[in-house]
Amino acid sequence: MKRIVIVGGHGKIALSLAELLTTRGHHVHSLIRNAEHEGDVSATGAMPVIADIEALSAEELSEIFTGHDAVVFSAGAGGGSPERTYAVDRDAAIRTMDAAAHAGVDRYVMVSYRGASLNHGVPEDNPFFAYAESKAAADEHLRTGPLQYTILRPGSLSSDPASGQIETSTNPEAEHASRDNVALLAAEVLENDNSIGHIIEFMDGSTPIVDVVAALPVVAPE
């Protein structure tokens, strides 16, 4: 059994992941900002924790993370103002990484998006620019830091039921990735250390998620 913190615990991916993890016997704390969402989180078997990641310092987050084995970041501003997007998807995300390192929680899984990159190519006048900039900065901070990371980069998200199958090729046939498949992949990488150091870009597909993860080569530490 592992003790896992999910940041952004009321999101659809997070709720699905919490249920998967608790069903597998893990102990899950899900961070939420709104106390009205406690019931939804509790229904997954996870323990809701009221914590506003925009307001908390890295030191305060570290206190919450202490004693856990892994952190999953699945929070997001949800297409709000550019200012809030930077505050949540970049600044708060980076603080959770620093907090995890300070708390001795080495394992960290980031839910990003397919195509995230410092050279994302999104024009500054595009509404997506702030999100692209934020995720690129957060992913880079994680990738170059001390944590044992896995970065999940799904394509456009859908509410389709989980198929348990994805595609990691550069030219996938599917146009979307099911949120439930994202949760399944997150649960699987948390249980397989060979996923450490990998960035997994994917869409829904025809390869079982367990096979995708099992096939990942072990990345030697730098």
What are the extents of the domains in the chain? Answer: 3-214
Task: Evaluate whether the domain defined by 3-214 bears CATH number 3.40.50.720.
Answer: yes
**Would strands 107-111 and 148-154 be described as parallel, antiparallel, or unpaired?**
parallel
Provide the pLDDT for residue 169. Answer: 86
Q: What is the pLDDT of residues 16-65, one digit of tens each?
A: 999 999 999 999 999 999 999 999 999 999 999 999 999 999 999 999 99
Provide the pLDDT for residue 79. Answer: 73
Distance from C-alpha of 130 to C-alpha of 107, rounded to nearest angstrom: 27
The chain-wide mean pLDDT, for the chain, equals 96
Q: What is the pLDDT of residues 113-157, one digit of tens each?
A: 999 999 999 999 999 999 999 999 999 999 999 999 999 999 999
Residue keyed to tokens 């599917």: 174
Whether the per-residue pLDDT at 194 is higher than 70: the answer is yes
Closest Cα to residue 12, out of 57, 65, 67, 78? Answer: 78
Provide the pLDDT for residue 134. Answer: 97
Distance from C-alpha of 5 to C-alpha of 201, rounded to nearest angstrom: 23
Give the ranges where 144-218 is alpha helix by DSSP (H).
179-190, 209-214
Closest Cα to residue 177, out of 160, 206, 157? Answer: 157
Q: What is the pLDDT of residues 74-108, one digit of tens each?
A: 999 877 799 999 999 999 999 999 999 999 999 99
Distance from C-alpha of 40 to C-alpha of 153, rounded to nearest angstrom: 26
Provide the pLDDT for residue 128. Answer: 93
The tokens for 21 are: 């993890």
Residues 6+ apart with CB under 8 A from 220: none
Q: Concatenated DSSP letters for 24-85?
A: TT-EEEEEES-GGGHHHHHTTTPEEEE--TTT--HHHHHHHHTT-SEEEE-----S--HHHH
Residue keyed to tokens 């024009």: 123
Distance from C-alpha of 153 to C-alpha of 203, rounded to nearest angstrom: 9
Distance from C-alpha of 153 to C-alpha of 57, rounded to nearest angstrom: 27
Per-residue pLDDT band at 220 (split at 50, 70, 90): confident
Closest Cα to residue 184, out of 21, 3, 35, 60? Answer: 21
Provide the pLDDT for residue 222. Answer: 67
Provide the pLDDT for residue 221. Answer: 74
Q: Are 38 and 44 in contact (CB under 8 A)?
A: no
DSSP state of 35: G
